[in-house]
A and B are shown apart, each in its own frame.
Chain A
Amino acid sequence: MDDHAGQFVRAVSRQGPRIMLHFDGEAVEASEGESLLAALLTQRSFLRRTELGSEPRAGFCLMGACQDCWIWSDTAGRLRACTTNATAGMVLRSQPPGVDALRG
């Protein structure tokens, strides 16, 4: 990662319990009720790399149409980060489980 810490900027504060999730093995703090995309992009510059060109991506339409923001949960499978709420203890990955093994 570089010094461009987070892509999104919080414009207003958020009430509600702080929770912890895991993304690619790193602990990430989030608020209950916020989207996974907002939780991740306020702290990171991108969500995943593309399957073919390995380009960084951070979602695009933010309204559930383009599917650019897919990430994976160990228990719930593929998730659309823009329309899925953060919940405590989620274990998330930027790649489908098993891809690392395939790529060696």
Chain B
Amino acid sequence: MPCVAEIVVVGAGPAGINAAERLCAHGHRVMLLDEGRQAGGQGYRRPSSGLDLDMAALMGTEAGKYEALHARFAGLLPQIDYRPQTLVWAVEDRTLHVVQAGVASTLRFDALVLATGAMDKIAPFPGWTLPGVFTLGGAQVALKDQGCLIGRRVAFLGSSPLLVLAATQYRKLGGEVVAIADTTPFARKLAALPALARSPRTLWRGLSYLGGAMLAGVPVLHGVTPVKVVGDGHVEALILRDRRGRERCFPCDAIALGYGLKPETQLAELAGATLRFDEAFRLWLPQCDADGRAAPGLYLAGDGAAIGGADAAEASGGLAAMALLADLGEPVDERVRLVLRRRLARLRSFQKGLAQAFAWPVAQIRALPDEVMLCRCEEVRIGEIRQAMAQQLGPVEINRVKAMTRCGMGRCQGRVCGPALQEIVAGAAGIAGEQAGRLRAQAPVKPIALSVAGEAL
């Protein structure tokens, strides 16, 4: 008989599903909690019911993996306690606080695997809060989940390999792509080629999408500086400065904005993980060993642990489960573990190459004018941050700035503005990004109704 441990996996994307599957195979009863309506996470999301969407065509070269993951999940379903539409809003003392359909409850666990995924990393610029500007990931969700384009004529802006992927998906479904504009200069992409060549298949896929867009006559720009969104109540045009400093205007009615991904680390932090500032990604990332161990009984996997993409998520989910099993004293297949470790190391080093080729635009953000909205929830402009800091004596760190200005204190709890706030604070103080400090995670990690929280306490 396997030893009886309460094992909870949070997140039903490729990492969480792989972890649950491997734990099940060892005879454990696993509870899989997921905030989504359907399993798959963001990338391998299933269309909502009733939609005539050809996912195989949309997923392209990844269609096989997409189908395989959902088939494996269907096989796993009878063996696990799967709870969709369940928000985990706090973790303390080996207890999860959850809300499902407006009802709060607590769940005890002995071991926790967090596969909480990621969202887009966003850099603000003048006009970015106008209706019609959505995250790049959101543009893909609108398509996969609802069969909708975010607009008729869409500009893809930011710095990410996913700009050209999403633009390709939009063109497939009849959207007009007015520009693919990347803030990172082309020379930096060339410099990253040796690192990117470690995953030749993925590199080739990216280049072929890029080639396809260029052949179709879509303007593809590198090294741009976003100037502003023009529009009265909604997006009417995107204005950029190109690499030569010329101002370019792209009439459009929607903008997909994304600068790579940002892990959802809030639950990991509350569960006891240590976070460290990563210079390559310029993000605070949870610390864990190569297999995902972050603290006793706490295992991290997928993009929520370190940005790596779907293939890395699958490998890291398997590794986290094997680490958990080994810590319970159960035998694990060392050959399989070695294969997964090698695969994960290769995929994550590819991501480091991507972080070079598609860089977070530190200088552009620090140079943003005072009137730019930074915190879209509390409507705090960059100038208010700089003024508040100028009035303070002595060193100012990011949580103090949050307390003074309410930036990062609203509905999204700093998920959207956090990385840019980090740069604004560091820029105004003349210090390194890391020294600005880190917006601390707080429960509830997402807003819940007071009536629900009261019931739980």
A complexed with B? yes
- A binding-site residues for B, Cβ under 8 Å: 2, 4, 7-16, 31-35, 37-38, 41-42, 45-47, 50, 52-53, 55-68, 70, 76-78, 82-83, 85
Q: With an 8 A cutoff between CB atoms, is B152 at the interface?
A: yes
| Complex Cα gap A45–B412 (Å) | 22
What CA separation (Å) do A4 and B153 show in the bound complex? 13
On chain B, the number of residues with a Cβ less than 8 Å from chain A's Cβ atoms is 54
Which of A50, A53, A62, A68 is the one whose CB lies under 8 Å from B141?
A62
User: Which one, B51, B132, B145, B446, contacts A58 given CB within 8 A?
Assistant: B132
Main secondary structure of the interface of B (DSSP, over half): loop
Contacts of B148 in A (CB 8 A): 8-11, 38, 41-42
Known: A4-B233, A35-B146. A70 touches B379 (CB 8 A): no
CB contacts under 8 Å to A, within B22-52, are: 35-37, 42, 48-52
In the complex, per-residue mask of B296-334: 1 if CB is within 8 Å of any chain A CB, else 0 = 000000000000000000000000000000000000000
Q: Check if B119 sits within 8 Å of A65, measured CB to CB.
A: yes
Main secondary structure of the interface of A (DSSP, over half): loop
Kindly provide the distance from the CB of A42 to the nearest chain B CB, expressed in whole angstroms.
Answer: 7
Kindly supply a per-residue 1/0 record for chain B positions 437-455, scoring 1 wherever the CB is within 8 Å of any chain A CB and 0 otherwise.
0000000001101000000
Complex CA–CA separation, A64 to B85 (angstroms): 11
Pairs A-B, 6 closest by C-beta atoms: A62-B138, A58-B131, A67-B411, A16-B50, A11-B173, A38-B146
Give the nearest-CB partner of A83 in chain B.
B37
Complex interface: chain A residues within 8 A of B50 (CB): 14-16, 31-34
A62 to B254, CA, bound (A): 14
Contact partners of B384 in chain A: CB under 8 A? none
Q: How far is the CA of A58 from the CA of B148 in the complex (A)?
A: 14
Residues of B within 8 A of A60 (CB): 133-135, 138, 376, 416
How far is A53 from B381 in the complex, measured between Cα atoms in Å?
Answer: 12
CA A90 to CA B119, docked complex, whole Å: 30
B residues less than 8 Å from A45 (CB atoms): 131-132, 233-234
Which residues of chain B come closer than 8 Å to A14, judged between CB atoms? 50-52, 147
Residues B411 and A70 in contact, CB atoms below 8 Å apart: yes
A11, B52: Cα distance in complex, Å: 10
Docked Cα-Cα span, A84 to B188, in Å, equals 42
Closest B residue to A15 by CB, please name it.
Answer: B50
**What are the residues of chain B within 8 A of A78 when measuring CB–CB?**
449
Q: Are A12 and B376 in contact (CB under 8 A)?
A: no
